[in-house]
Structure 1
């Protein structure tokens, strides 16, 4: 009896986690003209229509730009910061770690409103620049925390040996440290990319006319049109995110860093 109860609990858990994905996949494959589940027949026409909507293509390009270059910028800042926090005794290091983690801890709505009120409006920043800075700040904690985890697992003896053999600190970092933590850096990039690409609350405050990320564009689209194309696009994005995480887990062992 206990064995069946465990299997039942496991089945309900999987249903709770996977059920919404199944609903979205089949809702996007509906042959009808409105978003319904169960679908009115099956067709792939709405999956094909996703690629013909101009606003989806433009917002996808913007989201991709923000996810890639925002994450790269966060890594350029986060890797040196993680190295300093891991290798040196810095006064107030715990406070610094808390401040760096603030974008994860503080609700996204508050972050978006604060950036809009105290950065975009007073300084008259453009929408794209504001989104870029916001997405960089949002993924910076992942860069610092994941890279710090890799550095903590790397013994400092190797670096010190390189310095004793004549390398400068920069040479020891580029030739010894960086190659040994590249898995953590790549894991941080993937986590940052997925987080940035799927970001909603902050982007909702900072998006503007003609400049919207893909999740915000999908919300705006549903206010006007209630066809299954949004469900189809949601399914495609879910598959993309799952594929990225799956490949990262197989190649990098992503779970070791998070």
Structure 2
């Protein structure tokens, strides 16, 4: 039994090493003083973190990524909240189909989905680059919004809504005054999760971006093609920190158990 536990411990250690090893290498390389990526670093320097803020391409694409993410949050919630409410509140024919339809963007492989958007939005309908990127990001954000809001609505007592309407409140007023305040934790978690999905997205952005419109992950890919310094490692560490902070905020707000049900 002891040997079995020891073997299981080593297997667990190797799995974590496989998963976390590349992150350790990136973090270590980001502090290297040399003009090329090396691990272990030959010293300690923060100049590559400083260089992140001096590369104009990163600043420009960062602003575009923020704009796309913020606009995408607004649009995905305008579409996702009513859809989540309808799917959670009512029983109707075809409910399973609509549930699968709204979740499908995260089931389809990202490359396939991105190519499909390129073919129909850009090539067929000649939609400008920025609106095309925004549409693509909204589509991939909606499933996360619906999943989170639906999870919150599962714990909502609809008798409270019915009581408000019986006292004279309209259905629309009840929705805004009674329902939404009671699922605010889910809304906050949905905002954070949708922001992460949009800001870190590569699959859709790599097909939809173009001249003058590029998100930060795509600018990072372009930078790697011509430069081999640890700047990319530094900005990757900043990405990891931002993601960790937002995931911690989601956990404190709603709890990650809602995403694994």
Q: TM-score, normalised by structure 2?
A: 0.94
Separation of aligned partners in 1, 2:223 and 2:215:
12
Do 1:74 and 1:140's aligned partners in 2 also have CA atoms closer than 8 Å? yes
The Cα shift of 1:6 comes to 4.2
CA displacement 1:147-169 (0-9 Å, x = unmatched): 11111111211111111111111
The Cα shift of 1:76 comes to 1.0
- Note closer, same or farther for the CA distance 1:185–1:251 as it changes in structure 2 (3 Å cut): closer
Separation of aligned partners in 1, 2:9 and 2:56:
46
1:49-198 equivalences in 2 (<5 Å): 49-198=51-200
Give the match for residue 26 of structure 2: 24
Separation of aligned partners in 2, 1:87 and 1:251:
23
Separation of aligned partners in 1, 2:129 and 2:47:
34
Matched, 1:241 2:243: yes
Separation of aligned partners in 2, 1:150 and 1:194:
19
The Cα shift of 1:257 comes to 4.4
The Cα shift of 1:254 comes to 3.7
The Cα shift of 1:3 comes to 4.3
Separation of aligned partners in 1, 2:156 and 2:252:
21
Give the match for residue 34 of structure 1: 36
- Note closer, same or farther for the CA distance 1:154–1:257 as it changes in structure 2 (3 Å cut): farther
Separation of aligned partners in 2, 1:44 and 1:91:
59
Q: TM-score, normalised by structure 1?
A: 0.95
CA displacement 1:25-59 (0-9 Å, x = unmatched): 11111111111222232211111100000000111
The Cα shift of 1:89 comes to 2.4
Separation of aligned partners in 2, 1:59 and 1:181:
33
Matched, 1:250 2:243: no
Do 1:150 and 1:257's aligned partners in 2 also have CA atoms closer than 8 Å? no
Number of equivalenced pairs: 258
Q: Secondary structure at the match of 2:100?
A: helix
Report the aligned-residue RMSD: 1.5
Q: Secondary structure at the match of 1:22?
A: helix
The Cα shift of 1:247 comes to 2.2
Give the match for residue 13 of structure 1: 15
The Cα shift of 1:8 comes to 3.0
